[in-house]
Amino acid sequence: MKKVDVVLGLQWGDEGKGKVVDVLTPNYTVVARFQGGPNAGHSLHFGDKSFVLRTVPSGIFRDGSVNIIGNGVVVDPVSLTEELRNIADQGIPVKEKLFISKKAHIILPTHRMLDAASEAAKGKSKIGSTLKGIGPTYMDKTGRNGLRFGDVLAADFVDRYNKLKSKHQEMLSQYAGFEYDVTEYEKTWMEGIEYLKGFRFIDSEHEVNEMIKQDVAILAEGAQGSLLDVDFGTYPFVTSSNTVCAGVCTGLGVAPTKIGDVYGIFKAYCTRVGSGPFPTELFDEVGEELRRIGHEFGAVTGRPRRCGWLDLVALKYAVMVDGVTQLIMMKSDVMNDFETIKVATAYKIGGEVVDHFPYEVTDDLEPVYTEFPGWKCDICKVRRYEDFPQEFKNYVEFIERETGVPVKIISVGPDREETIIR
């Protein structure tokens, strides 16, 4: 019996999961998203084409693949409809290739308004929300008020929608001075609901487990990164779902005993979008260079990403909580021209040096760096690990020793071909 393999990010998101899943999918029949919403943006590049996938699993462009939006995902019908129509314009038979879990929750127009109102009310304490309505939707889910795709098929769906909308409007009235109008967006939202009715809504937990019994190869795809997990991330500057491997179990209905390989993706350096702790963040010309060379701007929001050196303390923590079996290093080529490359191998907190990720990352935390000589050459054309310069291999093998996990895939550029599998 095959097990479900998992691919997820090990930092604060934006690690390059989309490309990795696209590279891995020839080995899998099914790709299933297990959490998150349209705040995620997976960028795919092949040939002269580029796509940003927000909700659709990254296997959608592979021939013969089945793609599932799992019950742990929250879905904006407007965003998903736009995304699917763009993909369909490329000749992809989306209605044949994409299934939606009946238990996946739906983002309402008023969820987006609640998100905006809450973030505005926080002032300087705002968490950097993408304002896509993700948090309020998960709040309704845990509060047992939400709408799910299975509800769309009910005769009284509109009544259910209006009931929840009214509740949201009452909540919005508590935000003094906050003005909003969802009329136009609501119209587009309803059109999106009608479009999505043309897709197959499934009892995903039953179907996924039946596929497992039939030895179907399944890849579970996460969104954001492990350090944004609502339980294990840099709280409260986190997302509203479980981005770690355990989220596969609740987001797809897969038992822990059915989890196979866990592919953990990380950049050769670190980035973060929005507010929150970032121990290795660089505010100098090195940080600017990483941003410029790495084109570090959000795939969905366009926001410039904060950049810094690799944080090995945080990486080892993510490897631990995720049970990572194989590491995948992205954007190695971004650091081609640096004389010296640094890695945070410990933190100094209150004068004490610690090598574990703390309960809370505070302003008095100071990273302790280990330095490596840069490789000072273009590695974009390298296609075999043996052909990398020794300085680069030293960097990779240091990470392997420290984490105890092999780096099996190395990316040296955005295209499918710029991927070395060891």
What span, in angstroms and rounded, lies between the C-alpha atoms of 47 and 243?
30
Q: Does residue 40 contact residue 29 with C-beta atoms inside 8 Å?
A: no
Q: pLDDT of the chain along its 422 residues, tens only?
A: 899 999 999 999 989 887 887 788 889 999 999 999 987 666 666 666 677 788 999 889 888 899 999 999 999 999 999 999 999 998 999 999 999 999 999 999 999 999 989 888 877 665 666 788 999 999 999 999 999 999 999 999 999 999 999 999 999 999 988 888 999 999 999 999 999 999 999 999 999 999 999 999 999 999 899 999 999 999 999 999 999 999 999 999 999 999 999 999 999 999 998 889 999 999 999 999 999 999 998 766 678 899 999 999 999 999 999 999 999 999 999 999 999 999 999 999 988 999 999 999 988 899 999 999 999 999 999 999 999 999 999 999 999 999 999 999 999 998 888 999 99
Q: In sequence order, what E strands does 277-320 have?
A: 306-308, 310-311
Tokens 């009608």 map to which residue? 194
Residues 6+ apart with CB under 8 A from 288: 307
98-101/66-69 β-pairing: parallel
pLDDT at 45: 64
What span, in angstroms and rounded, lies between the C-alpha atoms of 377 and 61?
33
User: Model pTM?
Assistant: 0.92
Which residues belong to the active site?
Answer: 14, 42
What's the distance, Cα to Cα, between the start and end of the chain in Å?
A: 26
Rg (CA), the chain: 21
What span, in angstroms and rounded, lies between the C-alpha atoms of 119 and 42?
24
How would you classify residue 339: left for phi > 0, otherwise alpha for psi between -120 and 50, otherwise beta? alpha
What span, in angstroms and rounded, lies between the C-alpha atoms of 400 and 407?
6
15, burial (CB in 10 Å: exposed 0-12, middle 13-18, buried 19+): buried
What span, in angstroms and rounded, lies between the C-alpha atoms of 307 and 269?
8
pLDDT at 125: 63
pLDDT at 9: 96
Q: Does residue 301 contact residue 46 with C-beta atoms inside 8 Å?
A: no
* The residue count for the chain: 422
pLDDT at 301: 67
Q: Check whether the bond before 236 is cis (ω within 30° of 0).
A: yes
Tokens 């084409």 map to which residue? 49
Question: Which residues are registered as beta bridge partners of 407?
Answer: 327
pLDDT at 21: 79
